[in-house]
Homo-oligomer: A and B are copies of this chain.
Amino acid sequence: MFETALRAIVEETAGGIAAVLMGYDGIAIEQYSQPREGVELQLIAVEYANVLKEIKKTVEILNIGRMEEVSIKTSNFFVVIYTLTDEYFVALTLERDGNFGKGRYLLRREAPRLLQALT
């Protein structure tokens, strides 16, 4: 159930590398990734959770609404994080020159399916 949605997100996004459904506690529920060397998904997941917790706190301090989406572009990768509930989120990692817009669209498209499976 989870895997179908995660695979769709990764495979339909040009440059998609991996998608992970996880909790803010840093524990992944499910993940799907293209075969690729040198990407330590578990480490990345925990760090995602940490940084997202920090952003969530900031958004609350600033009182600028509920955090929905965070994207981080580095010289090597693009990471798009989409919040599902107060406990869970889904993160997509893609190549720097991957289709960021398509990735965001797919995260939104698959969110209801992931949410339904979660609850």
List A residues at the B interface (Cβ < 8 Å). Answer: 43-44, 47-48, 50-51, 54-55, 58-59, 61-62, 64-77, 96
Contact = CB atoms under 8 A, between A and B. Distances in A.
30 contacts: A43-B62, A44-B62, A47-B58, A47-B62, A48-B58, A50-B54, A50-B58, A51-B55, A54-B55, A55-B55, A55-B72, A64-B76, A64-B77, A65-B74, A65-B75, A65-B76, A65-B77, A65-B96, A66-B74, A66-B75, A67-B72, A67-B73, A68-B73, A68-B74, A68-B75, A69-B71, A69-B73, A70-B70, A70-B71, A70-B72
A68 B72 CA distance: 8
Q: Which 3 A-B pairs have the closest CB atoms?
A: A65-B75, A65-B76, A65-B74
The quantity of this chain's copies bound in the complex is 2
Query: Which among A50, A64, A69 has the greatest number of chain B C-beta atoms within 10 A?
Result: A64
A9 to B, nearest CB: 18
A65 to B, nearest CB: 3
Contacts of A69: 71-73
A81 to B, nearest CB: 10
